[in-house]
Amino acid sequence: GAGVSQSPSNKVTEKGKDVELRCDPISGHTALYWYRQSLGQGLEFLIYFQGNSAPDKSGLPSDRFSAERTGGSVSTLTIQRTQQEDSAVYLCASSSWTSRGQPQHFGDGTRLSIL
Amino acid sequence: GEDVEQSLFLSVREGDSSVINCTYTDSSSTYLYWYKQEPGAGLQLLTYIFSNMDMKQDQRLTVLLNKKDKHLSLRIADTQTGDSAIYFCAEGGGGNKLTFGTGTQLKVEL
């Protein structure tokens, strides 16, 4: 597609449920990133994929968070046993990885609300 | 560790220039970016500059980089009401993740 696509755009769920967030990067972009934006913490890096592997998972806040990427394209971020502090906007970005510094292009995010 | 700071608010009159400032701490930063975020939307890439450059101009946008002081600024000429948004600076150096500032809310008044 023309840009990074994320779904759903909004998700409301009860505490303790599992959620899956999807990201479809720009076609041909080999690098994919997940960030979280919340009022108290600003924009935080979660995880980075190059192809299907994740060289940097350092931002995942707990073992309840996991992500995978298949076929070098779509990625899903899964949050298990959601807590209220997981409420945030989850942003996905992609970039072409021909050299360092390629800019990251963001989707519109998934707004997650935990009741 | 890396830290990026911005002032929280800026208010300007339509037609004036806006200058949004940013300081960063990571001396290994190789690229610095400016993103714009409108309500309910993701981050829109505005421009970026390589750390060996002092200035970059792109239409109404001018980026100035003082590497010695680790200071980055974004100047928007002839600011319009459509420029009202939150502006984030970000640095990318060690590794591939971006470290973002807190964001500056720009309000353009008539």
The Cα–Cα gap between B59 and A50 comes to: 33
Residue A113 in contact with partner chain B when CB distance is under 8 A: no
Q: Which residue has the tokens 């840009």?
A: A3
Nearest CB to B30 within list A91, A101, A104: A101
**pLDDT above 70 covers what percent of chain B?**
95
Mean pLDDT, rounded, for B54-78:
95
How many residue contacts between A and B have a Cβ separation below 8 Å? 55
Mean pLDDT, rounded, for B62-78:
95
Mean pLDDT, rounded, for B42-59:
92
Report in angstroms the alpha-carbon separations of A58 from A66, B4, B42.
11, 19, 22
The reply to whether residue B45 touches residue A101, judged by beta carbons under 8 angstroms, is no
The reply to whether residue A45 touches residue B40, judged by beta carbons under 8 angstroms, is no
- The DSSP symbol for A86 reads G
**Which of A7, A9, A104, A110 is the best residue to mutate to test the B interface, defined by the most B CB atoms within 10 Å of its own CB?**
A104
Specify the pLDDT at position A23: 98
- The DSSP symbol for B52 reads T
Structure tokens at B22: 């940013």
Residue B1 has pLDDT above 60, yes or no: no
Residue A45 in contact with partner chain B when CB distance is under 8 A: yes
